Every structure is written in C-alpha cells, then in structure tokens.
C-alpha cells in the first residue's frame, strides 16, 4: 500500500479494507505496522501557535516607532550624548515592559492540537484487542470506539451499534451525529459523512469498529492545522497606520536633515556642529512619548475589556475592535442560547387542519398536549442525579432533546420517580438507521380515551418515519408531513410520538413490528435567540458595522433565526456552501452585498468569505468556537473565540469571550471604539508638538540664529512633561461624537487636519516669539529659557482641549479625567523644578524667570488653547462636513 484512499466514504467497507490491505476482523500484523510507521510516520502534529515569554517580549520591539527610537539611541551614543541616550533608552524599556506584562498575562500558550490525540486508543492487531498510544496508529489499523472515547484518527466505519459522535469541533454542529456504514456519494460534504469518524471528535453513544484511513497531517484536523499555519494574520489598522507614519517620519526627517546639511555647507558650519544639529532635528521629529502613551491606552482598554468578560491576547488587537466594519458570526451559542427548548406540542388533529401554522404554547399546554408530553416523558431515557432538588436545578444525563422533555414535563407537574419508571422497558433503543425508539409502558400512563389500548408501546422519533408507519391514508399522511415541514421551515427540530401494539412477545419485538402506528402528534423544539441580541444588533448597526451569519446549519434554520432577530431576510439573501464553491471570486464579489447568511459552510468556505471581504477593504471580526473555525479566526482582522470553545480556536483568536454572548462582542467593540478615540486624542496632541521642535530648530538654522532648544530639553518635554497627559488619555471615558467611517479610521480627515494645522500654527507662533525676543535684544540664554518654559507649559495645558476633538472645551467636563489633572499638575511641578533646582537648572541650561515672564508664559498657554479651539471649530465646521458631503 503506497497511498491513502481518496474518498473512503464513497467506497464500501470491503473496498476500503482492500485498498488499505487490512483484515477487518484481525487487523494488521505487527510486521505490517512497523512498515507503515516508517512510511507514514507517527500520528502526531505540532501546534505552531505557542508563544513563549521571550518571543512576547521581543515582539514589543517590532513597532516601527520603537525602531526609530532605537536608531536615535545608536546615533546619540555615537555622538556621546549620554543623557539623551539614557532618556530615550528608558522610554523604550518602559514601553516594552508595559506591553510584555499585559500580553504575557493574556497569553494561553497551550499545545492545543496535540491535546486532541493524547488519549489511549483501542485497536485490533493480530486478532487481539489492545490499548496503545495514539501516536503509533497507522492507516489500516482497526479502531474499537466505545462510549465516551476520543477518536484519534480519521476512519471509515465497518460495524456500529447505535453509534453517535460529537463532531462539534469540526463541523460546529452541537448535536451528536448518528452514524451508519452505508456508502455515500463522493461529493458528500464532511458534516454529512455519516460513515466516517474523525480525529479529535468524541464517541457519544453505542460502539463502533472502523478502519483508519488517515493519520497526523492527513486527517481533517491535521489539514486544518496546516491551513492555520499557512494563513497569514492580518495587520491591524493601527499597525498599518503607524507603519505609514513611521515611513512619513523617516522620509520627512531625511529631507529635513539633507536640507539642513545643505544650508550648513552654504553657511560654512563645522561638520560636528551639523551632526549635533541633525540629531536635534531627528530627536525633535520623533514623538518619544507616543509608544508609552499608546501602550498605556491599549493596556487600560484591554483591562476594561476583561471586566466585560473578554480577554485580549495582544494589545494592538484591542484597537482593531474599534475599527471593525463587519462581524461574521456563528449562530448556535452566539446569537442563540444553544439550548433546544420544547416550545410546542401539536396533536394529529392540529397538524391535519387545513390552515395549520406552527405556534408557541410553551407555557400553556392543554390536556391533549400534556397527554402527549406524558408519553414522551416515558420514552425519554434520562438519569436525574439530584431528583430531590427543584427541577430547574436538576443535573441530568441524556440527550439534549430528551432532557428538555423531562424539564418541560416537570414544569407541567408531570414527574416520574425511579420507582414509577421501573415498569417502563426500552424494547428498541434509538437507532440512526431506523430513527425511532420503542418503549413498553404500563396502561396507567395512557390518556383516558386510550386506556383500552392493548400492550401499549410508545414510539418516538423522526415524524416522517412514524407518519409513514401509521395507519392513516395517503392524503392524511401528506397533510401531516406538510405540517411537519412547516416546523422545519421555522427553524425547529421535531420529534414524533405514537402508540403501537406489536402483536408479538415483548422479548421478540423488532423494527418490523413497527407498523399501523397510532400517530398522536409532534413535539417541537427551538433554540431561542438570546434576549439581548436584537438590541445589541441595533447598537452595532448604529456604528456603521454590519453583521452577517456563517453557519453549518441548514438554510431554513438560519433564515428563521435571522428573521427572529429582526433581519427580515429571504432565500435570496442566503448562499449555501455548495453554491459558494461553484462561484469564482469575481462572481461571488458581485453578490456579496446582498448575502446576509452563508449556510452549510466548511472551514475553507469561511476562510474564503473572510478574505473576500477583507479584499474589499472591510475590517473583519470573525466569531468561532471549534477547530474548524481556527483558519478563519486567524485570517480575520480580529478573531473572536468563545470561552466554551476549543483550545485550538482560542489559541489563534485575538479576543476570547468568557460568556459566549453576542452582547459581549458589542460591548468589547464599544470599548474598542473608546480605545481608538483615545488614541486619536493622544496622537494629535503629541504629533502637533513634534512639529514644534522641527520648525523651531529648522527655522533657527535657516535664520542663522542660535538654537532655541537643546536636544535634552526637547526630550524632557516630549518624554516626561508631555507623556504624563498622554498616558492620562488612556483613562478618559468621554466619547467623541464621530459617526460612520470617521469613527473607525485612525487617520481620519479630522485627525490629519488638526495635527497639521495645530502643529504648524503653534510652532510658527513659538518661533515668531523667539525671533521677537531676540529682536528686542533679550539675551539668548533668557530667550531660550522663555521659549522652553512656554513650550513645556502650553504643552501641558492644551491637553484639556484634546479631551474631545469634536466639541469645544466648554461643552464637556474638564474634571472628569482626574488622572489628567494629576498629570498636568505633576508636569508643571517638573517644569518648575527645572528652573528652581540647581542641578536640573544647570543640566538644562536655563535661566531663572522673573514673575513678569512667568505671567507671560501662562498667558501664552491661554493663547495656545484658543488656537487649538479655533482649529477644532474649523475642522468640525468645514473639513469634516465637506468630506461627509462627498
């Protein structure tokens, strides 16, 4: 045997055994196992998503702005400007420590994929059943899968007894899948391959034997692992914006330095002097406080998201939440409660009515409905671990539907103790092959009008099977089947209930005796929409963020849920996985706008959907919980894994929800918008100051006058004085009044205009002040000290104007952000210290200012606040409105 079967689900059991050269009864020989281990290797695969402390710490230096600061450290060290070197290096280290602490706390580095194949496995070899380490499984091995066993390789079933499997981690389907051995079409999608079992899934009921058809990376879970590794994580909008900013700073600074060199050569200045001037320009162009302020805003935002039951795995991803334009969500457990509840019981008479439509009588069952519920309770094989507790606190073992039958029965005072059930006997357990169960009950459980029913047996299962086995005529059967189909269209699961007399000894009853059934009616179950979802959707839509659904469910179920949450969709708004696979990217892109639901989709489908929307410029958030979701979670701009989901999904996601609730997604996105708003405030505040230094120093060189500020003074204002208000922005809770695209863009028209306008005007004013002081023969040392004091002081005070870029300063509270008050206060104390403490005064080379000049410095700060407010008025009145009109 040199290759694995291509589609074993389409082959018969004998064909699969022949292609894999194995004996279905005796299994492989030890000699053959040794050969195949050399050929196929061990049944393991490594998870490549794990990140250790060192990689997390080193990642903090990957920021483009940090790269510039590192370059500044090298240059200042070469020039032996040790104080400048120390101050910039300090900023870099503090930023790295802050980022590392936050990300290391959130990182859950678990080897998730390996965890799914670390269980012991039963195999048949040389005719003997033995338990082995799953890593030694090879293609052709015969697996014996029992109740509760973890399946450790992909395999084709050859024998099964009432076997069901939980395949939620691969397909997203929350209910156990009923298995059989019949061959299927080669085109059968994975969720419908009922004759296959897959690595990582779980055996629920019954038992089975299966031939291993794939191991390690050839398994479906292995293919997903490879897909995850091959999928590139998208850069966040903030990372892309900062990358553009960094290149802008590099190009702009390079041109400025080149220009200054040219001017210096014309002025016959010394090379050493020009190098010092160049480093001053370089340092002045870099906002040293930006990385620290940015990390602080993200870290505080991540902490607030955690309080709203969301865990961010990286800091930069937190900002992406605020930029999200599209959410691709699953249905079960996110939009719905993932809890099938009994909502209706319809008798045969109701189903047979000409105008039948599904209804909801969950709390008001009539006598006939309660009689059917009583019989369904008899047929429900559920163990209650704490029967003495109130029914809403019961811990039950059984299928999802049957446990809900028991709860609903108890709610209607229909209870059965263990003694009551001692006379109830299961004659035919539920089978995926026949899709019903048969239970013998005492006549005392029968409705009064059926008490004369001979040897009563309850039949419960698929309604279409029970109806076909009933005594009704063809016309009645068709009407009953039509009524059942209406329930399915409404997104409900249904169980039929009937009675029969087997006319045989109880011990000899078989499925052949299930005929002439007295069909009594159906039980209808519904996974209810979470109560908070409709309001949450309205809130998220108000931000201009769209929501679409990608689910493994059938189209009818998905449409029913979508309409229940208020989407008002039709079949024209639905695309199935099969239809999607038949469309080219160009054809699919042409219809994307009208598709609200993608149904019966595969992991590759989800990945394709995500990438197509990203190609259109969307910032995509994707929710998921299973291994099958991991490729699309990684590819999305923001991957959101639910807390109850698989470790694989969590290991590649950016955000982990602790309560599996769509409302929490909305809350975290709102927090993301606050993070983005605070970053904008801080960015405009710091970058407008960066232009101050460039214009001051460049202007002085062009004018041929002494430099008004030294490199150490620039770094002091940027890093220590200015960084305090910048960090305080992290704690600000005032929402800016931005709508639509502007609220999601980092470099919005408002941000760009304010940065350039304020930075240019304030800088020119400060340079004009310096020239004026020199013109009136103020000594250079004093003039420089006045400029330094003015620069440092107004840098602090104008921070209040940046608390909200959309409103004037008198329209919002200046006292709400107490940390900003403290930051400005501490910053003022630092400025005072530089002029009063002898050591600092000598280090910074400043003169003591008289009360008159101190008053002038404070008045200059007020003038600058007025300038900033003027800029905000122009931006909000003309710039933003003009852009909106276009």
Q: What domains lie within the chain, and their CATH numbers?
A: 8-40+116-221 (2.70.150.10), 56-102+234-309+668-885 (1.20.1110.10), 320-337+531-660 (3.40.50.1000), 341-526 (3.40.1110.10)
Active site residue 593: no
pLDDT above 70 covers a percentage of the chain that reads 88
Secondary structure (H, E, C), 9-40: HHCCHHHHHHHCCCCCCCCECHHHHHHHHHHH
Strand blocks (E) in 429-536: 436-440, 457-461, 493-500, 518-526
* 351-363 burial code (b ≥16 CB/10 A, e <16): bbeeebebeeebe
Query: Region 744-762: what's the mean pLDDT?
Result: 88
Query: Region 227-251: what's the mean pLDDT?
Result: 69
- pLDDT at position 727 is 82
pLDDT band at 108 (very low <50, low <70, confident <90, very high): very low
pLDDT band at 886 (very low <50, low <70, confident <90, very high): very low
pLDDT band at 879 (very low <50, low <70, confident <90, very high): confident
Query: Region 689-712: what's the mean pLDDT?
Result: 81
Of the listed ranges 290-304, 472-486, 642-656, 766-780, the least confidently predicted one is: 642-656
Which has more confidence, 53 or 305? 305
Of the listed ranges 132-136, 329-333, 807-811, the least confidently predicted one is: 329-333
Tell me: pLDDT of 261 over 90: no
Tell me: pLDDT of 862 over 90: yes
Cα–Cα distance, 261 to 264 (Å, whole number): 5
Number of H helices, E strands in the chain: 34, 23
Stated pTM of the model: 0.68
Which has more confidence, 46 or 656? 656
Query: Region 257-268: what's the mean pLDDT?
Result: 77
> Which 8-state DSSP code applies to residue 132?
E
Give the other-Cβ count within 10 Å of 183's Cβ: 16
Strand blocks (E) in 570-632: 574-576, 597-599, 620-624
- pLDDT at position 647 is 60
Average pLDDT of every residue of the chain:
84
Residue range 508-526, pLDDT digits in tens: 677 788 888 999 999 999 8
Residue range 424-448, pLDDT digits in tens: 887 887 766 678 888 999 888 888 8
pLDDT band at 237 (very low <50, low <70, confident <90, very high): low
Query: Region 155-178: what's the mean pLDDT?
Result: 82
pLDDT band at 107 (very low <50, low <70, confident <90, very high): low
- φ/ψ of residue 99, rounded to 5: -65, -40
Which has more confidence, 206 or 48? 206
Residue range 786-825, pLDDT digits in tens: 999 999 999 999 999 999 999 999 998 888 899 999 999 9
Residue range 34-67, pLDDT digits in tens: 999 999 999 886 545 556 677 778 777 776 667 7
Would you give the end-to-end CA distance of the chain in angstroms?
Answer: 66
Tell me: pLDDT of 549 over 70: yes
Query: Region 327-348: what's the mean pLDDT?
Result: 86
Catalytic-role residue among 330, 344, 527, 732? 330
- Helix ranges (H only) for 286-358 are 289-307, 315-323, 348-351
- pLDDT at position 75 is 74
- pLDDT at position 602 is 79
Tell me: pLDDT of 694 over 90: no
């Amino acid at each position: 045997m040199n290759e694995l079967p291509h589609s074993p689900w389409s082959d018969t059991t004998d064909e699969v055994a022949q292609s894999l050269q194995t004996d279905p009864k005796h299994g492989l020989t030890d000699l053959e196992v040794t050969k195949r281990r050399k050929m196929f290797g061990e049944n393991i695969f490594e998870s490549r998503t794990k990140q250790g402390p060192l990689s997390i710490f080193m990642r903090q230096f990957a920021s483009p702005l940090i790269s510039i600061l590192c370059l500044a450290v090298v240059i200042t060290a070469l020039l032996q400007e040790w104080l400048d070197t120390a101050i910039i290096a300090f900023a870099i280290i503090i930023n790295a420590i802050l980022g590392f602490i936050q990300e290391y706390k959130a990182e859950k580095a678990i080897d998730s994929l390996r965890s799914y194949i670390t269980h012991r496995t039963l195999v048949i070899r040389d005719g003997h059943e033995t338990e082995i380490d799953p890593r030694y499984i090879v293609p052709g091995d015969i697996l014996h899968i029992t109740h509760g066993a973890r399946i450790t390789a992909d395999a084709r079933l050859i024998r099964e007894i009432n076997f069901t499997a939980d395949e939620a981690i691969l397909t997203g389907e929350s209910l156990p899948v009923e298995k059989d051995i019949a061959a299927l079409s080669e085109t059968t999608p994975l969720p419908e391959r009922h004759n296959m079992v897959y690595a990582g899934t779980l055996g629920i009921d019954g038992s089975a034997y299966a031939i291993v058809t794939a191991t390690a990376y050839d398994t479906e879970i292995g293919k997903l692992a490879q897909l995850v590794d091959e999928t590139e994580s998208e850069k966040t909008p903030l990372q892309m914006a900062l990358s553009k900013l960094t290149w802008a700073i590099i190009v702009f600074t390079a041109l400025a330095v080149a220009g200054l060199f040219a001017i210096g050569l014309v002025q016959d200045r010394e090379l050493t002097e020009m190098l010092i001037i160049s480093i001053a320009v370089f340092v002045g162009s870099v906002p040293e406080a930006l990385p620290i302020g940015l990390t602080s805003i993200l870290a505080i935002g991540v902490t607030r998201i955690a309080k709203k039951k969301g865990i961010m795995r990286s800091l930069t991803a937190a900002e992406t939440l605020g930029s999200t334009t599209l959410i691709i969500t699953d249905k079960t457990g996110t939009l719905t409660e993932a809890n099938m509840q009994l909502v209706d019981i319809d008798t045969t008479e109701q189903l047979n009515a000409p105008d039948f439509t599904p209804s909801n009588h969950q709390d008001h069952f009539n006598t006939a409905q309660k009689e059917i519920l009583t019989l369904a309770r008899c047929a429900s094989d559920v163990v209650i671990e704490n029967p003495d507790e109130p029914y809403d606190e019961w811990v039950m073992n059984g299928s999802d539907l049957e446990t809900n039958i028991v709860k609903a029965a108890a709610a209607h005072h229909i209870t059965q103790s263990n003694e009551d059930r001692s006379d109830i006997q299961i004659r035919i357990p539920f089978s995926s092959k026949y899709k019903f169960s048969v239970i013998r009950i005492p006549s005392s459980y029968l409705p009064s009008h059926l008490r004369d029913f001979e040897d009563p047996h309850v039949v419960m299962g698929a309604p279409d099977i029970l109806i076909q086995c009933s005594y009704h005529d063809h016309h009645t059967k068709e009407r009953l089947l039509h009524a059942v189909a209406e329930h399915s269209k409404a997104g409900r699961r249904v169980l039929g209930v009937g009675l029969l007399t087997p006319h045989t000894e109880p011990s000899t009853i078989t499925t052949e005796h299930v005929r002439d059934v007295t069909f009594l009616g159906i039980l209808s179950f519904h996974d209810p929409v979470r109560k908070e979802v409709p309001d949450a959707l309205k809130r998220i839509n108000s931000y201009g963020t769209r929501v679409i659904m990608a689910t493994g469910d059938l189209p009818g179920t998905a449409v029913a849920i979508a309409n229940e949450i208020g989407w008002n969709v039709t079949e024209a708004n639905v695309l199935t996985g099969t239809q999607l696979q038949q469309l080219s990217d160009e054809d699919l892109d042409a219809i994307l706008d009208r598709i609200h639901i993608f149904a019966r989709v595969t992991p590759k489908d989800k990945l394709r959907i995500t990438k197509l929307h990203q190609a259109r410029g969307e910032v995509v958030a994707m929710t998921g919980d299973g291994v099958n979701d991991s490729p699309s979670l990684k590819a999305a701009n923001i991957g959101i894994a639910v807390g109850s989901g698989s470790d694989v999904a969590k290991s590649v996601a950016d955000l982990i929800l602790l309560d599996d609730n769509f409302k929490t997604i909305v809350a975290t996105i709102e927090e993301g918008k606050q993070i983005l708003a605070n970053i904008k405030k801080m960015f405009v505040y710091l970058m407008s100051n960066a232009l101050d230094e460039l214009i001051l120093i460049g202007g002085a060189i062009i004018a041929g006058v002494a430099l008004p500020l030294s490199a150490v003074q620039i770094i002091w204002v940027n890093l220590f004085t200015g960084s305090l208000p910048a960090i305080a922005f992290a704690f600000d809770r005032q929402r800016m009044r931005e709508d639509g695209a502007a609220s999601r863009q980092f470099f919005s028209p408002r941000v760009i205009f304010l940065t350039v306008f304020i930075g240019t005007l304030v800088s020119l004013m400060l340079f004009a002040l310096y020239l004026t002081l020199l013109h009136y023969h103020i000594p250079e040392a004093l003039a420089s000290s006045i400029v330094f004091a003015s620069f440092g002081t107004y840098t602090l005070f104008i921070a209040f104007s940046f608390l909200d870029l959309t409103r004037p300063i008198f329209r919002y509270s200046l006292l709400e952000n107490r940390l900003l008050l403290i930051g400005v206060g501490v910053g003022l104390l630092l400025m005072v210290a530089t002029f009063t403490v002898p050591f600092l005064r000598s280090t910074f080379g400043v003169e003591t200012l008289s009360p008159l000049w101190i008053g002038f410095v404070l008045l200059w700060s007020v003038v600058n606040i007025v300038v900033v407010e003027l800029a905000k008025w122009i931006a909000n009145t003309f710039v933003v409105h003009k852009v909106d009109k276009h």
